[in-house]
Structure formats: C-alpha cells, structure tokens
Chains A and B, each alone.
Chain A
C-alpha cells in the first residue's frame, strides 16, 4: 500500500502534452517538499518556522555559487547546500529550542528577514536582486534534466521518497515522542524524551528538507534571486501546510497542490481586478489562512478523510522486547530522599522530608490534601528542582537531574491527573513508555530500518496492556477511555518502560470497587516480582491493605512513618486527619 505513492510518477506522462501543467507539476513537487518540512515541525513537533524559504535559499545559493562562479558540479552544490541549511538550522534551533514554544517561530521571522536583506545586499557574492543566472542543468546518468518533463520525474521521485521517510518517522518512537512533546512535554520527558534535543533534531531535518527543495528550485529555473526566498514565500508554504491539514501527510500534499494552482490563478486574476500590477496574492494567503484557522483549524484533509475508508489498526505480532525482571536483593535501598525542601513563593510545600524505599516493598505516602505529596513526587522525578535536600536512586545521586535523565536509570511514574495523548491509540500511548528502551535514531527511522524494533516495542506495550487488563481497548483512541481506565493505562505505560521503581500518584482514584481490588492484586504481584512501589492515594482501605510501610505528611512535613497499624494508632496522624487534639 505504502508504495502506491510512486503512482505520482505517472503524472508527468499524463501531463506530457501540456507544457504549462508540467511546469505547475514541478512547482507542486518543490512546494510540497517544503510544506512537508513543516509537517515535521508543526504537524509532529508542535513548532513552526517562518524561515523555510530562507533554508531553501541556502540550498539554492550554495549550488548557484559553486556552479556559476566556481564551475563545480551541481552535486557538489547539493552537498554544500544541505550542509549550509543544516548549519543554519543548528544555529537558529540551538538558540531557541530550550525556550518556551513561541520563541523559535518568532525568531525565525527575524532571521528570515535578515537573510533576505543580506541576499539582496551582498551584491558581490549573490548578484543582489539581479541574482545569478545560467546555472547548469542537472545531469543524471548522462541525461541532462533540461526540460520540465524530465525534471518533474526527479522532483516527484524525491517527493515520494520524502513522503515514505516521513511516514516511517510518524510510525516510530521518534514520531511518537514528537507528538507527545507537543501535547505534554513533562509526560514525554518522564519517559526519557529530551525535549530540547528532539526538537532540535526535528528542526534540523526540516531545514535540510527545505535546503534540498532550494537546490531543486535553483536547477529547475537555472536562475536564483532573493524573491522566492522571502518571508512571504515562507508564509506561503505555511499556508499550504495549514490549509491542507498539517497533521497528516496527505493533507500537506493536498494543500501544496491546491495552492500551486491557486497562486497561478491569483497572479493573473488579482491585478485584473485591482487594475494594477503587484504582489496581491499575499492578501488572499493571509485571508485564507485566517478563514481556515477559524473554520477548520485542522485543515481541509480531516474533512475529506472522513469519507475515505479507515485503515484498520493492527495488533503487533512480533516477539516483545525482553522485559527483564528486577534483580537484586530484596530489602536493599533503591531510593533515598534526604531532607527534601521546596517552597513556592511564601508557601513551604515540602520541608525536610526524608525516607528510604527498599526493593520489593510498597511504601504509601499519605496525608491530607495539600500536604505536599505530589510535590515530593515531582522533586524525586526531576519535574521540579528542590530548594534543598538530595535524592539517590540505586545509590547514585539524581538531585537536580532532568526527568529524561532520571527515567532511564529505572524510575517510572504516573500522574495525579493522567497525562495521556488523547489522539493517539491506547497502544501507542503505552508504547511511549518504551522510548528509553529503544535505540533507532533519525537515520534508521527515516530509512525504515527501525521496523523490527518498533514491532517488538509495540508488542511489549501490548503485553503491558494485557497485564492491566486493557488489551481489548488497545486500538481505541485514548480519549475514549473513562478516567479509571486512563489510570490503568498510565500504569501499563510505566510497566512497558521497564522501570523497577514505580511512583504511582493516586492510581486508585476513579476506579470502581472491583477495579480497585484488581489494582491491589496487580500491585502486590508486582512487588513480589521485585518491583518497588511508592504510592500516593486517598483510599485508606486500599492503602492500609496494600502498603508494607506508610509515610504520613502534613503541611509539607513528615509527621509519621511505620507499618499501617503503627501509623493508624499514631496520635499525630489522627490529629492531622480528624482534627483531634493530640
């Protein structure tokens, strides 16, 4: 099925008698390539760039300079172009990926404008607004690609390869992680995703794709000047992607096709209507973009896709990745918190809390609302930085490490309010848990070399779903699960991650009585297998029946620690819960 995309290569044959449409076809392939780069950024990564035309410009000017001024081969120009767009993306991305989401797109506007001005003003190098002319045609196996018919094959072939590569990306650990980052960076980071690093890689990929499109553009027109690499051009590509539907590859291609046709039509029509020559099509781009964002924020494709047959989801058949059971002596210290302290403004949320967690035990952390339990979780997992105190995991200090560095050491967590990705299937939500256990990087994924590992990861996720009893819902969208099952889904995700120390924040909330019994049964058998569990919950029946030891917090301080029987008799605890005079 996936190779059906190659049918696009038939288009030049169909359009061969119509030179005008062949030209449009070439422009479609080039635009679609740039718009696809925005699929990576916006559709998957939840970022965007207003500088994709500038990246194209890097690719175009690099080859133009090498071939026209130096007389080198265009293929050398391609290498230089890709290298330059990569470098540009590295600098721009490196400066902004760690900042809040809007800094990256906002600064791309500035860089785009600056590079455009430079291209127009560095006359000695770029020829200014006159540009560089007489680029040589590309030679492929001795065949000059010097007409629109031949060139269309090259453009479409590269487009199809990009589509296939990006489909691989979407169906991989990296695609899942990008989608997760967009929705909820903390949840993604809690399973080993380094947000800044992954965003930077996506930005690099998008930059290189646009650079490739620029190279193709230059040798298609065999002439470069700054105009096609302006901010308006960047916005045009964004309009294409957003209008078509930036969340799906066919949507992006649809947008590119529509706007390539529309642009040509507008360029003829608008000056006639307005009685003057000028670049009036930008008005239409802006207004179409506005209308789409208000009326169909997900673009046109989802409106069409409803009428297409839905692809059946498939359960994984491969052998799951091995889940090695926790090893090591029962009772040895696995996690130790020493004097944890955290203040939010004037509020001391956690004050000098210490405890140890021993292998195989179930330790409950209880206390009235606002006692600081969730803050303790966040301090241990690296979600927030402590003001004081230290945390050790398996004897190694993890204080101040970010969550994506802590998780791979063997610590997994669930959240008080489930942090799921509603648009992904239940199975894919769980599969995010396997991120830190899988290795495929961008090169393998884009080439499709990750499929075996991916299948095994999904199989492991399915196995974890079976364990919590949700396997019959594996292919449903996560948003369709009721609150209680969402919590079970989070537990499955932690299990799939292979973490040995499980921090569960109110796993019982929203479960029915029968489900709670099953949960207790599951947690007990996990602890027998050597998993270590730190649990927060408000259901005293559940906690007292389940926990080996209990730590009680109130107003940010630890007020008691002991077996369930001991703490129930503790007058301080009774006072905290019931308001008795101690």
Chain B
C-alpha cells in the first residue's frame, strides 16, 4: 500500500463513515425517545433515491402509494380532527409529486418529503398502537417492517441497480468528487444543526427531556407521541437526504439500505445506543475498518465489519451490573 492508495482509502472511509454516522445518530435518537430500534432506517434511505429515479424518468413511484396508504391508516387511527393533518399532508405530497413529474428539480424535495412522511406514518401506524410494549416487541416489529419494506422496494423498483445523476459533477482531486464533498458538507451541517437544535431550542430540549424520562416529560406537558413523531421525522430526514446524496456515488437498488443501516447500528452499539458523539466516532471507525478490509480482503469486507462488535460488546459487558433493576 502506498500513500496514494492510503489517501483514497481514507477518503472513502470518511465519505462512508459520515453516512453511517448520520444513520447512527438517527437510530440513537429514535431509540432514546421511543425505545424503538429503527431497523428499517436503511429502507427509508433506499426509498429516496429510487423514488427520485422514477420521477426523473416520468413515472410515479410505488413508494407514493405506500406512503398514501399508510397516511390513510394514520388518519383513521388518529380519528377526529387529528386525522386531518395526515390527509392534508398526503394530499400535499401527492400534488408535489405531480408537479415534480414536470419540474425535475422539485423531485429532490419531493423524494425527501416522501421519506419523512413515510417515516412518521410508520411510527403512527405500527409503533404507536403498541405503546408500552417491551423493547423486544418493538424490535421484532422493526425487523418485520424491514423485510416488508425491502420486499416492497423490490416490487416497486425491481432488482436492477440505478445510478442517478450527481447534483454536482466532476472531481475536486482524484478520489474525491464534488458529490462526495456535498456528502461531507451535509453531514457536518446535520450534526451542527442537531447540536444547536438540542442545545438551544426549547423544542429540542423538550425532546431530550422526553428521552430521559417519559413520565416526567408527560407531566410537564410534552406529549410522548409528538416527541416520537419528531424523532422519527428527524431520523427519516437524515436517512432520505443521505440516500439522495449517496446514490450517485454508489448504486441505488432495493437492497442498498440494509447494509448501510446495519453499519449505522454497529456504530450506534459502539456508543452503547446512548452516546451521540461516540456513535459518530464509531461510525468513522466503521468506515475506516471497512476501507482497510476492502483493500486486504474485499470479498469479506461486509462480514468483517461486524467483528468490530466483539471488542465493543466485550468492554460494555465488563462494565455492566450483574442485575438490572
């Protein structure tokens, strides 16, 4: 390995690592607020670029039908006036998609909004009716949704791989495209934005409070459902934009999301599912480890990433109390 290759590997590691990091931050946030381990985050990521490809080729994607169907269920479950919002949102989304068929630039926000709407609807339709369920039941639900959404992705978009046109073309230096720079900039902006949101805004603080102590938050007027919706919305937003920015660099296909999400998990577990900064650092480590293994043992790189879990779980085991109350 010479310096050039090392540089390329490091750039690759950074570019992938920040995406894993955003996934990990979304996962930790959703887990903290709702106790849901959002396994289908990868599918939400995958839906964005594939919906975009469909819009750009002049077709309405099947994901729109899925989002509207879940929106309808959401409205039915919410009953009364609360049901108005999902219906209005769904209508707006539908109109936006019709417009985006004519105006290609609108397709970008349309795809991201679709994913956010879908994410929030997923929470309201599938997770919220299970309220007060165990973490285990939530996890089983999440895994079920992962296979269902991935299967639906196959139905909607077929097994082919697509490469949407990058937002910015060309390379800054060899190995770093402008699109890659965009990924890094977005990751930086997202982390900074989340930090400011949680530190400065009342709403962000309320969300953290709800994550710390649900009962206490409810007693001080923070509705847990609302906090859950916001957490899902933020995680979906991160996933949707990440998917759009990443797809021109790697191929977009129905199976792309799961491995990305899973590496986000590895990073989140490195942070014990509680720490945002450690999860972010963990994500960079995952990216680095993956880059190096892809150089030395490329066939196994997807499997070897999970080896990182061994020392992380071992260390956390040593610190764990024998009996949890």
Q: Which of A50, A121, A285, A385 has a CB less than 8 Å from the CB of B148?
A: A285
Q: Which of A42, A110, A290, A293 has a CB less than 8 Å from the CB of B265?
A: A110
Structural contact, A95 and B314, CB atoms closer than 8 A = yes
Within the complex, the shortest CB–CB distance from A558 to chain B, in Å, comes to 25
Chain A 317-366 residues near chain B, CB threshold 8 A = none
Closest-by-CB residue of B relative to A110 is B306
Interface residue stretch chosen among A232-240, A435-443, A528-536: A232-240
Within the complex, the shortest CB–CB distance from B60 to chain A, in Å, comes to 17
Structural contact, B269 and A103, CB atoms closer than 8 A = yes
The interface residues of chain A lying within 8 Å CB-to-CB of B150 are 282
Q: How many Å lie between the Cα of A406 and that of B305 in the bound state?
A: 41
Q: How many Å lie between the Cα of A235 and that of B316 in the bound state?
A: 27
Structural contact, B303 and A282, CB atoms closer than 8 A = no
Structural contact, B325 and A186, CB atoms closer than 8 A = yes
Structural contact, B300 and A95, CB atoms closer than 8 A = no
The interface residues of chain B lying within 8 Å CB-to-CB of A107 are 269, 309, 313
Q: Please count how many residues in chain A sit with their CB below 8 Å of the partner chain's CB atoms.
A: 59
Q: How many Å lie between the Cα of A384 and that of B155 in the bound state?
A: 53
Question: Could you mark each residue 169-198 of chain A with 1 if its beta carbon is under 8 Å from any beta carbon of chain B, else 0?
Answer: 000000000000000011001000011100
Provided the pairs A96-B313, A105-B139, A283-B152 are in contact, do residues A118 and B300 lie with their beta carbons within 8 angstroms?
A: yes
B317 interface residue per 8 A CB criterion: yes
Within the complex, the shortest CB–CB distance from B303 to chain A, in Å, comes to 4
Question: Could you mark each residue 185-216 of chain A with 1 if its beta carbon is under 8 Å from any beta carbon of chain B, else 0?
Answer: 11001000011100000000000000000000
Structural contact, B141 and A98, CB atoms closer than 8 A = no
Q: How many Å lie between the Cα of A42 and that of B322 in the bound state?
A: 20
Question: Could you mark each residue 213-241 of chain B with 1 if its beta carbon is under 8 Å from any beta carbon of chain A, else 0?
Answer: 00000000000000000000000000000
Q: Which of B135, B262, B325 has a CB less than 8 Å from the CB of A110?
A: B262
Counting chain B CB atoms within 10 Å of each CB, the highest count among A98, A101, A287, A383 belongs to A98
Structural contact, A117 and B143, CB atoms closer than 8 A = no
Structural contact, B306 and A114, CB atoms closer than 8 A = yes
B196 interface residue per 8 A CB criterion: no
Provided the pairs A48-B136, A282-B151 are in contact, do residues A98 and B145 lie with their beta carbons within 8 angstroms?
A: no
Q: How many Å lie between the Cα of A274 and that of B150 in the bound state?
A: 15
B245 interface residue per 8 A CB criterion: no
Structural contact, A106 and B139, CB atoms closer than 8 A = yes
Q: How many Å lie between the Cα of A118 and that of B304 in the bound state?
A: 9
Structural contact, A195 and B144, CB atoms closer than 8 A = no
A512 interface residue per 8 A CB criterion: no
Structural contact, B130 and A294, CB atoms closer than 8 A = yes
Structural contact, A239 and B144, CB atoms closer than 8 A = yes
The interface residues of chain B lying within 8 Å CB-to-CB of A274 are 155
The interface residues of chain B lying within 8 Å CB-to-CB of A4 are none
Chain A 288-318 residues near chain B, CB threshold 8 A = 289-290, 293-294, 297
Chain B 119-148 residues near chain A, CB threshold 8 A = 126, 129-130, 133-137, 139-141, 143-148
A422 interface residue per 8 A CB criterion: no
Structural contact, A99 and B140, CB atoms closer than 8 A = no
Q: Which of A96, A117, A281 has a CB less than 8 Å from the CB of B303?
A: A117
Q: Which of B141, B265, B304 has a CB less than 8 Å from the CB of A106?
A: B265
Structural contact, A293 and B144, CB atoms closer than 8 A = yes
Within the complex, the shortest CB–CB distance from A114 to chain B, in Å, comes to 4
Q: How many Å lie between the Cα of A103 and that of B271 in the bound state?
A: 12
A280 interface residue per 8 A CB criterion: yes
Chain A 77-109 residues near chain B, CB threshold 8 A = 95-96, 98-103, 105-107, 109
Q: How many Å lie between the Cα of A383 and that of B322 in the bound state?
A: 9
A111 interface residue per 8 A CB criterion: yes
The interface residues of chain B lying within 8 Å CB-to-CB of A283 are 147-148, 151-152, 155
Question: Could you mark each residue 310-321 of chain B with 1 if its beta carbon is under 8 Å from any beta carbon of chain A, else 0?
Answer: 100110110011
Counting chain A CB atoms within 10 Å of each CB, the highest count among B130, B136, B146, B300 belongs to B136
Q: Which of A117, A235, A385 has a CB less than 8 Å from the CB of B144?
A: A235
Closest-by-CB residue of B relative to A196 is B322
Provided the pairs A185-B324, A290-B148 are in contact, do residues A95 and B313 lie with their beta carbons within 8 angstroms?
A: yes
Chain B 272-325 residues near chain A, CB threshold 8 A = 273, 299-300, 302-307, 309-310, 313-314, 316-317, 320-325
Structural contact, B320 and A109, CB atoms closer than 8 A = no
Structural contact, B148 and A287, CB atoms closer than 8 A = yes
Closest-by-CB residue of A relative to B145 is A286
Provided the pairs A283-B152, A289-B140, A293-B130 are in contact, do residues A195 and B147 lie with their beta carbons within 8 angstroms?
A: no
The interface residues of chain A lying within 8 Å CB-to-CB of B147 are 232, 235, 282-283, 285-286
Question: Could you mark each residue 31-47 of chain B with 1 if its beta carbon is under 8 Å from any beta carbon of chain A, else 0?
Answer: 00000010100000000
Structural contact, A42 and B136, CB atoms closer than 8 A = yes
Q: How many Å lie between the Cα of A212 and that of B129 in the bound state?
A: 38
Provided the pairs A101-B136, A118-B300, A290-B148 are in contact, do residues A189 and B262 lie with their beta carbons within 8 angstroms?
A: no
Closest-by-CB residue of A relative to B324 is A185
Question: Could you mark each residue 180-193 of chain B with 1 if its beta carbon is under 8 Å from any beta carbon of chain A, else 0?
Answer: 00000000000000
Structural contact, B133 and A235, CB atoms closer than 8 A = no
Within the complex, the shortest CB–CB distance from A108 to chain B, in Å, comes to 10
A46 interface residue per 8 A CB criterion: yes
Structural contact, A101 and B144, CB atoms closer than 8 A = no
Structural contact, A238 and B146, CB atoms closer than 8 A = no
Q: How many Å lie between the Cα of A194 and that of B323 in the bound state?
A: 8
Q: How many Å lie between the Cα of A238 and that of B135 in the bound state?
A: 16
The interface residues of chain B lying within 8 Å CB-to-CB of A290 are 126, 141, 144-145, 148
The interface residues of chain B lying within 8 Å CB-to-CB of A286 are 144-149, 151
Structural contact, A282 and B141, CB atoms closer than 8 A = no
Structural contact, B130 and A297, CB atoms closer than 8 A = yes
Q: How many Å lie between the Cα of A106 and that of B314 in the bound state?
A: 15
The interface residues of chain A lying within 8 Å CB-to-CB of B321 are 385
B167 interface residue per 8 A CB criterion: no
The interface residues of chain B lying within 8 Å CB-to-CB of A185 are 323-325
Closest-by-CB residue of A relative to B323 is A189
The interface residues of chain B lying within 8 Å CB-to-CB of A239 are 144
Q: Which of A281, A289, A404 has a CB less than 8 Å from the CB of B141?
A: A289
Closest-by-CB residue of A relative to B307 is A114
Beyond A99-B320, A278-B155, A283-B147: 9 further Cβ-contacts under 8 Å?
Answer: A95-B317, A98-B320, A100-B320, A114-B303, A118-B303, A185-B324, A189-B323, A235-B147, A286-B145
What 9 A-B pairs have minimum CB-CB distances, sorted nearest first?
A286-B148, A289-B144, A283-B151, A114-B303, A402-B322, A117-B303, A282-B151, A114-B306, A95-B313
30 contacts between A and B (CB under 8 A): A47-B136, A101-B136, A102-B37, A102-B136, A103-B273, A106-B37, A106-B139, A106-B265, A107-B269, A110-B309, A113-B303, A114-B304, A114-B306, A117-B303, A118-B303, A185-B323, A186-B324, A194-B322, A235-B144, A238-B140, A278-B159, A279-B154, A280-B151, A280-B154, A281-B151, A283-B147, A283-B155, A286-B147, A294-B129, A294-B130
